[in-house]
Amino acid sequence: MSGEGDAPQAIRKLRPGKLVIASHNAGKVREIEALLGPYGVQPVSAKALDLPEPEETGTTFVANAELKALQAADLSGLPALADDSGLCVEALGGEPGIFSARWAGPDRDFRVAMELVERNIAATGPHPPRDAHFVCALALAWPDGHVEWFEGRVDGTLVWPPRGDKGFGYDPMFVPNGHEQTFGEMDPDAKHAISHRADAFRQLVAAVF
């Protein structure tokens, strides 16, 4: 999906070579590197290039992914891929949503974030629904300002207490539909096969490679 105007445009292909991963989240960078491994690109993280983290002022996952990717592409002179993702909880009206990382506080402590989610769910009343979904928006930007974006989703339910020490973020409290393990308990390959990020990456790979 092109980020340039409303007129239909051909998807721009990504050539082999260096690709900036516009994230300072080590867990997210590892997942993206694993997903991109087979496609001839050479991922390099924004942190490794000492690129700043922009303020996420967008009101949607796509908008935040685009601004991160555009800044990284502009500053590095290389194509850049950014991910904006989060947990949307039905009982909380879709929160934390685009503020998922902010709920973890300045230290990015997701144990704190998960406890906050659980407390807020409990405060909605007895037997609240525990349905939730993860969203991942990917934006691929070039130094000339061209952007392609893709959005993936996975539905599930929340458990408490959290289970597992794999994955990152809210993974230990999220059980995807049709499974018994949380994302925090799953081996990375199993998670990559079904996650919101994998869904978005399938779309990206089909379009740009």
Angstrom distances, CA of residue 145 to CA of 41, 200, 206: 20, 21, 21
Would residue 187 show up in a list of annotated catalytic residues for this protein?
Answer: no
Question: Measuring CA to CA, which residue among 166, 130, 139, 1 is closest to residue 62?
Answer: 139
Question: Looking at 6, 50, 74, 84, which residue is catalytic?
Answer: 84
HSE-up of residue 106 (Cα within 13 Å, Cβ side)? 0
Question: Measuring CA to CA, which residue among 34, 174, 97, 192 is closest to residue 183?
Answer: 174
CB 147 within 8 A of CB 4: yes
Question: Measuring CA to CA, which residue among 51, 44, 41, 91 is closest to residue 72?
Answer: 51
| Residues catalogued as catalytic | 84
